[in-house]
Structures are given as C-alpha cells and as structure tokens.
Amino acid sequence: MYENPDGVMIGLEVHVQLNKLKTKVFCGCTTDYHNDPPNSHVCPVCLGLPGALPVINKKAVEAAIKVGLALNCKVEEHTQFYRKNYYYPDLPKGFQITQYDFPISSGGYIVIEGEDGEHRVGITRAHMEEDPGRLVHEGTIDKSKYTLIDYNRSGMALLEVVSDPDMRSPKEARRYLDKLRNILEYLDVFDGNLEGALRVDANISIMGGQRAEIKNISSHKGAERALLYEIVRQKNVLRRGGVVVLETRHFDEAREITLSMRSKEEAHDYRYFPEPDLVPLKISGWAPAIKETLPELPDARRMRFVEQYGIKDDQAKSLTGELVWANYFEDFLKAYKDEYKEKLDPKLAVAWIEVLKGELNYRDLTVDAFKKEDMLSILELLVSKKITEDGAVDIIRTLLDKGGSPDEIVAEKGLLKVEGDIVSTAVEEAIKENPQAVADYKAGKEKALNSLVGAVMKKTKGRADARAAREVLLGKLG
Ligand code: ZN
Ligand code: MN
C-alpha cells in the first residue's frame, strides 16, 4: 500500500487537439496549417468577427464521443455548448465556445501503473471546446516588447479531458499522461507530434492547504517537474506557518519553477450561458455505432499479446505502450517467410525488437530508420544458425551507422558462424596454449572453463557459438 505521506492530490485537465479532422470545429477552415504562414487559414468564424455564425463539425462530435467511450465514460443523453466569457487577445470575440452542463461524456476512468501497482484514475468529464489562437513572443514572454498572434490554430476542435484528483505523486501524473496519449494514438483522432497537440493544466494540493492550478505545461516531463517543484513549495509554505492559497500559477519551463499569476477564478466569474447559435445535440443514439468502431485498446492488446504469443507481460506492456511498436511486432510476425515460420518464436522476435529499440534510442532515431526487411533477414540468419547473436547486434549497428544490407555486412565483416572442424581446431589450440586453465579446471575450478571458452571465441573472432564451443571443450577435456 502506498501511504502518500504528504496527502498529495493531483488532478489533470488535458486539452487534446482533435487534429486529424479535416476542418475546424465551427467553420470550414483546414486543420492542415502547421507548415503554412501565420493567419493563412482563417475566416470570420474562427477570427471571431461580430455576427459570424458557427456550424458544428459532426465528425468532431463523433471523435469526441469515441474518446469518451475509450475512457470508459458514459456518453450523455444530449450535449450543449456554452459561452465562457473572458477577454484575451487569442480569442477576439470575448468568449470561448465550450461546454459546462451536459458535456459530451463523464464518469470514466483510466488504469495506470501507480505507486503500488495498478491504479484507477477517475475521469470526471470530457468536454468539447474551440482552441484559441497562438500567441508568439519575440524572445521571452517577460522581455518581449510585443506579442504576435497566429489565428490558424483558432477554432481547432479540442477535447478537454478532466480527471478526478486521484493521482498521488508527480510520477503517477506522468504515467497518466503517457497512458492517455497511448489510448488517443490507438483511436487515431490526433497526431501527438504536432505543435500543441496535448496541453496540460495541473491541479495540486497537499494536506493542510488549498490547491494550486499550474498552467503552461507543455510536456509529460514538464508536468512531473512542475508538480515536484510545487510539492516542495507548498510544504515550505506550511512549514513556515503560512497558508497555501487557491491560485493559478505559471510554470516557467526554463527555470523549472512555478510563479503566481492570479487568484484562481471561479466558474461564476465566466458568466457561462448557453450558446444561442448552436442547438443542443441529442447524442445518446450515436454512441452504439461509434462503439462498434473502437479499435482494440492498449490494455486489451497487451493481454492478447501475452496469451497469443506467450511473451512476458512487461514485454507486452512495452510493445503496446507505443502503437508503432505494437504494430511493428505483429506486422513482423506476419511478414516472416513460410520456410522460417516454423522456427519463428515470437519471444525471439520480441527480444530482438528490444535490442533494436535500444540501438535506435541510443542514436535518437525512430523505427523509420530501420527497414523491417532487414530485421527479417537478420532473424533468418539467426534461426538458420548462420550468424551468432553478437554478429546480429553487429549487423544492426552497422546498418544504422553506415547503411548497406545484412548480406553485404555479413560478407564484409566475415560474420558467418564457424562450426565443425574450425571450432574443434580452435578448441584443441586453446587447450594446448592454456595448460594452467586446463589444470585448474581439472582440479575442480569451474571458472577456468570460462577462460577456455573465451580463448576459443577469440581464436574464431567471435564467430563460434559460445554454447557449442563449451560443449566441444567439455568433450575434449573428458
Ligand atoms: Zn475558419
Ligand atoms: Mn479548457
């Protein structure tokens, strides 16, 4: 049981940009603006000009319902949009179209790897809203003489996923964000690599104080850092006999500290009222059909991998934790040529995918840097016992660093495994040249055998199979 000594309670509000839709949420402007000049994809609606009328993007509502279902939420009977009134230059019309009562869905949960094993984090609600524009500062925000505004982002469909305050440490908050992103990737509703795809506000309190809301967190690591800082800050305030007040704080990413922005505004400050230009939507009837389109989600896939392929649970967890690797693994098994299918052990494939992941990570590369066919060739060379495991690693590294093909590298580096006579000869020589080790072994020192195996490997330049060499040695030593 995790004791949570400081009584930490963390809840997260995550703004997910549904950026795989073709058009924005209330107008026909494209969502494909990321490589275009600022303010090149705007219209009266997303610029917030007076009198412009919004029209809901049905696909955006469907995507929002899909996410709600995947987060185990109940989809509401009907949903309604509201105006949230506040002034900020990124939203010139003076209000944001968002939701208040009757959000798309509510009452779900996500299972994360918590401080004490599996831990359920409740999802309070998931509601839709429009994204404001993007503010750009020359240099840093506190030194910039002016602010530039790009409204290309304005009007993008957002889904705000609000969690219950169920996370008990910054680590759990990070795990939650990882899991949420993982699920979203499977749903194919957002591209996490695009600017602003996932933005986090964090609410955190410790025992004896009120909560602080931290804004401007742009990464999962940033969330963990901001929360770690905030726990120390709040504890220090209480230790000095002070009061932790309800407030909104800004995370300064460069300095890794949080700074007070303002006392926390409350719902009534925003004068929410129903958006008169959008009718309520009766969505309960949509849910069953959308549920049919839900793909197999990470947890289910992880369980299936363990059952179907007999791999370890932590291997299945690591594979399914990133959609590209889960797909890579299964595509890889399917692509195996018939003649090798018999010998193909999924466990072997996982082990080598893990090696590949490590080598890619070391070089800061993604899976695109390595052809699947090359991995197939390497495993074929391995299962047909033509190369050793060391040889396989050598091929992977050479391919990543210099390119070429597995066959070329095998020929160039002389990686073909040596067997039979060559190994016997090497063993005989090793015995002859290391009388002391032989004597030690015969005197009962088991370890001496390892140095003899080492001598054989050295003579064959690592191309003998260490286990086979050991067998031959044992035979000859009697
Ligand atoms: Zn527009
Ligand atoms: Mn919001």
Which ligand is located closest to the Cα atom of residue 17?
Answer: 2
Among 291, 315, 331, the domain-final residue is 291
- State the distance from the centre of ligand 2 to the C-alpha of 66, rounded, in angstroms: 19
Do both 60 and 17 map to the same domain? yes
Residue 4 in domain = no
Domain that holds residue 393: 298-413
pLDDT at site 219: 87
pLDDT at site 226: 95
The fraction of the chain above a pLDDT of 90, given in percent, is: 65
Q: Which helix (H) or strand (E) holds 200?
A: strand 198-205
Average pLDDT in the 387-414 region?
89
* 177: Cβ contacts below 8 Å, ≥ 6 apart: 12, 14, 198, 200, 220, 223
- State the distance from the centre of ligand 1 to the C-alpha of 57, rounded, in angstroms: 12
Do both 346 and 461 map to the same domain? no
Among 413, 438, 459, the domain-final residue is 413
Strand 157-163, strand 147-150: pairing:
unpaired
pLDDT tens-digit map of 165-204: 999 999 999 999 999 999 999 999 999 889 889 999 999 9
Do both 177 and 314 map to the same domain? no
Residue 169 in domain = yes
- State the distance from the centre of ligand 2 to the C-alpha of 11, rounded, in angstroms: 14
Contact indicator for 78, 189 with CB cutoff of 8 Å: no
Contact indicator for 190, 17 with CB cutoff of 8 Å: yes
Average pLDDT in the 433-460 region?
83
Residue 165 in domain = yes
Q: Residue ranges of the alpha helices (H) in 255-388?
A: 287-292, 298-309, 313-320, 323-335, 338-341, 346-362, 372-383
Residue 399 in domain = yes
Contact indicator for 204, 10 with CB cutoff of 8 Å: yes
The encoded tokens of residue 397 equal 């590294």
Using alpha carbons, select from 46, 37, 34, 109 the residue that is nearest to residue 73.
109
- State the distance from the centre of ligand 2 to the C-alpha of 160, rounded, in angstroms: 6
pLDDT at site 170: 96
- State the distance from the centre of ligand 2 to the C-alpha of 12, rounded, in angstroms: 11
Q: Which residues of 275-309 are buried (b: 16+ CB within 10 A; e: fewer)?
A: beebeebebeebbeebeeeeeebbbebbeebbeeb
Residues around the ion ligand 1 (C-beta < 5 A)? 27, 29, 43, 45-46
- State the distance from the centre of ligand 1 to the C-alpha of 48, rounded, in angstroms: 9
The fraction of the chain above a pLDDT of 70, given in percent, is: 99
- State the distance from the centre of ligand 1 to the C-alpha of 98, rounded, in angstroms: 17
Do both 136 and 272 map to the same domain? yes
- Could you tell me the pLDDT band of residue 427, with boundaries at 50, 70 and 90? confident
- State the distance from the centre of ligand 1 to the C-alpha of 23, rounded, in angstroms: 9
Which ligand is located closest to the Cα atom of residue 130?
Answer: 2
Which ligand is located closest to the Cα atom of residue 84?
Answer: 2
- Could you tell me the pLDDT band of residue 94, with boundaries at 50, 70 and 90? very high
- State the distance from the centre of ligand 1 to the C-alpha of 86, rounded, in angstroms: 21
Q: Which of 201-205, 213-217, 378-382 is the most confident on average?
A: 201-205
Q: Rounding to the nearest 10 degrees, give the CA dihedral for residues 55, 59, 64, 69.
A: 140
Q: How many domains does the chain have?
A: 3
Residue 237 has pLDDT above 80, yes or no: yes
Do both 74 and 145 map to the same domain? yes
Find the length of the chain: 478
pLDDT at site 275: 96
pLDDT tens-digit map of 324-345: 999 999 988 888 777 666 767 8
Residue 214 in domain = yes
CATH of the domain at 449: 1.10.10.410
Which ligand is located closest to the Cα atom of residue 41?
Answer: 1
pLDDT at site 413: 80
Which ligand is located closest to the Cα atom of residue 14?
Answer: 2
Do both 29 and 153 map to the same domain? yes
State the average pLDDT for the chain.
91
- State the distance from the centre of ligand 1 to the C-alpha of 89, rounded, in angstroms: 17
Do both 238 and 127 map to the same domain? yes
- Could you tell me the pLDDT band of residue 128, with boundaries at 50, 70 and 90? very high
pLDDT tens-digit map of 103-116: 999 999 999 999 99
Residue 13 in domain = yes
Do both 380 and 425 map to the same domain? no
Q: How many CB atoms lie within 10 A of CB 50?
A: 8
Which ligand is located closest to the Cα atom of residue 215?
Answer: 2
Residue 244 in domain = yes
Among 256, 291, 326, the domain-final residue is 291
Residue 2 in domain = no
Which ligand is located closest to the Cα atom of residue 44?
Answer: 1
Q: What is the pTM of this model?
A: 0.85
- State the distance from the centre of ligand 2 to the C-alpha of 81, rounded, in angstroms: 13
- State the distance from the centre of ligand 2 to the C-alpha of 25, rounded, in angstroms: 15
Lowest model confidence (mean pLDDT) among 1-10, 354-363, 380-389: 380-389
Lowest model confidence (mean pLDDT) among 145-149, 168-172, 265-269, 324-328: 265-269
pLDDT at site 76: 92
Residue 474 has pLDDT above 90, yes or no: no
Do both 66 and 42 map to the same domain? yes
Do both 101 and 194 map to the same domain? yes
Do both 319 and 409 map to the same domain? yes
Q: Which of 72-86, 132-146, 444-458 is the most confident on average?
A: 72-86
Do both 408 and 428 map to the same domain? no
